[in-house]
Chains A and B, each alone.
Chain A
Amino acid sequence: MNDIAISLQGVTKVFGETVANKDVTMDVKRGEILALLGENGSGKTTLMNMLSGIYYPDGGTISVDGVPVDIRSPKDAFELGIGMVHQHFKLVDVFTAAENMILGVETKERFDRKKVYADMNEICEKYGFDINPEQKVYDMSVSQKQTLEIVKVLYRGANILILDEPTAVLTPQETEKLFNVIRNMKENGKSVIIITHKLHEVLAISDRVAILRKGEYIDTIDTSTATEAILTEMMVGKKVELNIDRPEVKEKFKRLEIKHLNCVDADGVRVLKDINFDVYSGEILGIAGISGNGQKELLEAIAGLQLVSPDSSVVYFEPSEQEESQLVGRTPKQIRDLGVHLSFVPEDRLGMGLVGSMGMSENMMLKNYGEAKGVFTDLKRPKALADQIKEDLEVVTPSLNTPVRKLSGGNVQKVLVGREIASNPTVLMTAYAVRGLDINTSYTIYHLLNEQKKNGVAVIYVGEDLDVLVELCDRIVVLCGGRVNGILDGRNTTKEEIGLLMTNLKEEEN
């Protein structure tokens, strides 16, 4: 009896001059959960896109159930029972859940909404999903969208499911729910390939782990014999220290004093409620909270990008003469010029801060074009800066003029964070700086932030990974429902304590 569902033989894919996958040979067994592990740009997604028909391999063969196949389009993949949930959801926003589900399904059947709803409910019942067929996608949360993606794939009768970084945008609770679904699917005899670079998730969910490094296949090992250290070494190719430094800085000065910060968003919802805390130089202040609890607004309010209520106060203390200035009411540019810098990494990475169709040099210019004298732009300095960032942070790009949207996610983030650091800020705010980054790059970023801290910069770090927050930050502000729900000392707190504050609003004191 043959228990191999998919077999790859010497699969190769080349983009221009970049080799994304080189001679990959590996198997996926029936009814197993296989984790595909690798750093950013190691070719995990490209490899899976070849299985799902988005890309066509330049070499090698793919066999499904022992038969060599030619997957030329997503339609071919569906016919072979391969379904993929992409990292960036492939859903039509203005369609309902049910409409998204039946997209592209070839059938002579009439389009009967009631019948489709019934089909959808049946799948949901079988696997324990909770989804309303009539809900529009734009009204859905991230985790609902993901559920819909999985339902979509199951509806089309997939036996092999590929999930590309499904947990990247989920909360721990949602992740646990997803894992139960995945185990459920395994029990139904389906093979699941899960792409991720979160090691603890690999250990928690998978049966076997396949590792890619720089487009090449390294090995597949049983999860039972794997540890985080082994996996990291295979992934990176060298031993990596998995501890985050927390250097002590002796001299700390107050940089920001935030008082009674209130903010109402465009829909009239109070997103920030009476925020009070101080920010000191030489420390990393972590901000924790379930996404959408005011983190973004808080940073934007400080940076002058959010309209705040008139009685709010954000006082900035200059390092040299300890002069005070009120930031509320100033323009973002004035605030920037004082040295308060924001690098925000949104879910799609490019949405804020970088222009996708411009190269690295031009993106550097975005923030300092005003400094050049005369009417002509100064091209030399941005180019030198771009060069330096490329060198220092090991940004992988064919050239400084390659549009940044063509770079891999990790490299885009390095450009973004690198640019803000290069401008010598006194207050550096980063949000989700390591979102979607692999271990090695994440540690590079932590290291950079620590460097800044040692140089006397006040660093504000909005993060998602509680383990990292506890290890990296000196103090942690926990936001819940737009309020400060506690300020913890990073040295003697636990992630359970943070988690509790994130989800349970303390009684209002008054």
Chain B
Amino acid sequence: MDSIISLIRAAVSFGTVIMFGSIGEIITEKSGNLNLGVPGIMYLGGIASLSGVYVYENATENPSSLVCVVIALLCAFIASALGGLIYAFLTITLRANQNVTGLTLTIFGSGVANFFGGSLNTLAGKFEQIAVPVTSAAFRAVFAPLANLGIVGQLVFSYGFMVYLAVIVAIATHFFLNHTRKGLNLRAVGESPATADAAGINVTKNKYLAICIGAGISGFGGTYYVMDYIKGTWANDGSIETLGWLAVALVIFTTWKSKNAIGGAYLFGILYWMYNYVPGLTRSSMEIFKMLPYVVTLVVLIIVSLKNSKEKQPPASLGQAYFREDR
């Protein structure tokens, strides 16, 4: 029983990282742009929040938890949105190839983050490991009365606030895309920019906004990872990149519907951590278990293709640049 609870708790934490990443990417892809820079953007979000609060915590006698959280989220959003802006400028205004630009952004983001992360560790001095204890504690704080409610408390109420924020963002995104005029317009841009344009929708503006805001949300995945998942430190081990690619896979798994990202993210988490809980695995058979999230994504792709349902396809103009006077 304990091991199941522990697996689920690990899955929820893990899922939260990729849920942010994938909701951001869903918003981006709904505008018709495929941003493969998600891992890089999550890196940017992670390092920006870490740098921001590191400076704040070291400059203040008694850093306030609330200010720490605000600084972390703000820095993450701005840095990630800037990453998105670079991508948007290249792909929308200059009409560069989206796949190439996205991959470049991933390389760029991980390079920048690991450079600053390494530097921060050096700055941290003798222990050679940076720490932002106040912020990390704020991110990991749980509401004790609920968290102590036995199993339910452990399973549902014993996480930092970002776990719940991710779920709220997923639902809010779903509502925005399906039940507001602005969301409808955004989806039209991703499905058929020429149609949207002829209907008087500003395609460029919609794409820029969706990409930058989407990137900002993806960046929160990096923040959660750094502040909660690895408890306010930095590791130059490339794990954010792995998570970033899983976030991209999750977008496909959800068939571009953000509310599916909630269950999907936790499922990926369970599949990802399963190897720790299956007894008698050798080192090599563990690796087979780590494949499971990707296998599941493939299976979903196969099922969706077989069903050939128009509702479960990617936005129709995904990956294509739009130019009004193109003939």
Of A75, A106, A111, A405, the residue contacting B184 (CB under 8 A) is A111
Assuming the contacts A15-B327, A75-B200, asked whether A90 and B194 have C-beta atoms less than 8 A apart, the reply is yes
Contact of B199 with A by CB under 8 A: yes
Q: A103, B199: Cβ atoms under 8 Å?
A: yes
What distance in Å separates the Cβ of B322 from its nearest Cβ neighbour in chain A?
12
Query: For residues 138 through 185 of chain B, which have their beta carbon under 8 Å from a beta carbon of chain A?
Result: 179-181, 184-185
* Interface-lining segment among A92-100, A174-182, A500-508: A92-100
CB within 8 Å for A103 and B194 given contacts A73-B200, A406-B327: no
Give the complex CA separation of A338 and B311 in angstroms: 43
Cα–Cα distance between A92 and B184 once the two chains are bound (Å) = 11
B184 touches A99 (CB 8 A): yes
> Which residues of chain A are within 8 angstroms of B310 by Cβ–Cβ distance?
93-94, 136, 138
Give the complex CA separation of A463 and B264 in angstroms. 51
Tell me if A74 counts as interface (CB < 8 A to partner B).
Answer: yes
Kindly state the separation between the CA atoms of A411 and B185 in the bound complex, as whole angstroms.
35
User: Given the known A-B contacts A55-B325, A90-B192, A95-B188, are A107 and B199 also in contact in the complex, defined by CB atoms under 8 Å?
Assistant: no
- A181 → chain B closest CB, angstroms: 20
**What range describes how many residues of A lie at the interface?**
20 to 34
Whether the pair B316, A74 counts as a contact (CB closer than 8 A) is no
- Across the interface, do B191 and A103 meet the contact criterion of CB distance under 8 Å? no
Known: A92-B188, A138-B310, A406-B327. A105 touches B198 (CB 8 A): no
Query: CB within 8 A of B181: which of A86, A93, A105, A138?
Result: A105
Closest chain-B Cβ to A42's Cβ sits at a distance in Å of 15
Whether a CB of chain A sits under 8 angstroms from the CB of B207 is: no
**In the complex, chain B residues 196-213 whose Cβ is within 8 Å of any chain A Cβ:** 196-202
A275 at the interface (CB under 8 A from B): no
Decide: A103 near B196, CB < 8 A? Known: A93-B316, A111-B181, A111-B184.
yes
If A74-B200, A104-B196 touch, does A95 touch B324 (CB 8 Å cutoff)? no
* Interface residue B195 (Cβ < 8 Å from any Cβ of A): yes
A100 CA to B195 CA, complexed, in Å: 9
Question: Would you list which residues of chain B between 92 and 133 have a CB under 8 Å from chain A?
Answer: none
Which residue of A55, A91, A111, A136 contacts B195 across the interface (Cβ within 8 Å)? Answer: A91
Q: Which residues of B contact A107 (CB under 8 A)?
A: 181
A94 to B, closest residue via Cβ: B310
Establish whether residues B316 and A103, one from each chain, have CB atoms under 8 Å apart when the complex forms: no
The answer to whether the Cβ of B257 comes within 8 Å of any Cβ in the partner chain is no
Which A positions have Cβ atoms within 8 angstroms of B?
15, 52, 54-55, 73-75, 78, 84, 86, 90-95, 99-100, 102-107, 111, 136, 138, 152, 405-406
**A-B contact list, 13 entries, CB within 8 Å:** A15-B325, A54-B324, A73-B197, A78-B200, A91-B192, A94-B191, A95-B187, A103-B188, A104-B199, A105-B181, A105-B200, A111-B180, A138-B310
- Closest 6 A/B residue pairs (Cβ): A104-B199, A75-B200, A90-B195, A104-B200, A103-B199, A104-B201
